[in-house]
Amino acid sequence: MKHLADARSAIVSRLVIALVASAGFALAACGGSSTVSPSATSSPSATLAAEVDPCLVGTWTTVGQNQNSPANDEQITYRGGAGEVFTIDASGAVTIDTHAAKKVVFVSAGETFSATVSGTGRGTLSTYDLGPDRAFDFKPSADDTRKTLSLDSTGTELGPARPDTPFSAVYTCAPGRLTFYKTAVNYMIDGPMVTLTAGISKSSSTTSPTPSAG
């Protein structure tokens, strides 16, 4: 039993390893460094720009992942995750609809894990210049109910579902496409770059109107 407990502990510990790679989901053609930068909120090079980049305003749907990201010299393979809908208004208010989101499956050191999201994300977003890059800070609000649940290959939960927390990310944005990756990552599920496209896919459609994403 001790051996099994130690093995599970090792698996869990890998889930909370900080990545040194790109991570993200929603804000076009990212050209960020592969090295994790300091938190955007504490970086001395961060320069405040407009409160919210107009390019981000609109509705965006995540695209399924199919990529590798390194973590401590170990390649982690990601796939899935399509269908989350991000709506950003001109004031910076963000809503994340997870009802049609697909699970993310990732493989690390021969171990297969998966993660699913549930609830509704709500919060605020502000954008700024970070050296040659563009970045944003996301802060969940008190009514944010979005959570991420990670499972091992047997379907066993790896701890309780994790609620949204504040984060900073480097992004790129162009008409119709958005990508971002987090500048500091403490969970493998947060490691890859996130890509979104403008509008709501058929599988993710809701009754909400679709703002312009230009």
Collapsing DSSP states into helix, strand and coil, what is residue 177?
strand
Kindly state whether residue 135 falls inside one of the protein's structural domains: yes
Kindly state whether residue 208 falls inside one of the protein's structural domains: no
CB 117 within 8 A of CB 148: yes
Domain count, the chain: 1
Kindly state whether residue 211 falls inside one of the protein's structural domains: no
Kindly state whether residue 210 falls inside one of the protein's structural domains: no
Comparing C-alpha atoms, which of 214, 135, 189 is closest to residue 16?
189
Kindly state whether residue 166 falls inside one of the protein's structural domains: yes
Kindly state whether residue 108 falls inside one of the protein's structural domains: yes
Residue 102: domain span: 2-202
Residue length, the chain? 214
Interior angle at CA 148, CA 142 and CA 151, nearest 5: 155
pLDDT in tens, the chain (214 residues): 333 333 333 443 443 333 333 333 333 333 333 344 444 444 444 444 448 999 999 999 999 988 887 655 668 899 999 999 999 999 999 999 999 999 999 998 889 999 999 999 999 999 999 999 999 999 999 999 999 999 999 999 999 999 999 999 999 999 999 999 998 877 878 778 899 999 986 655 543 434 333 3
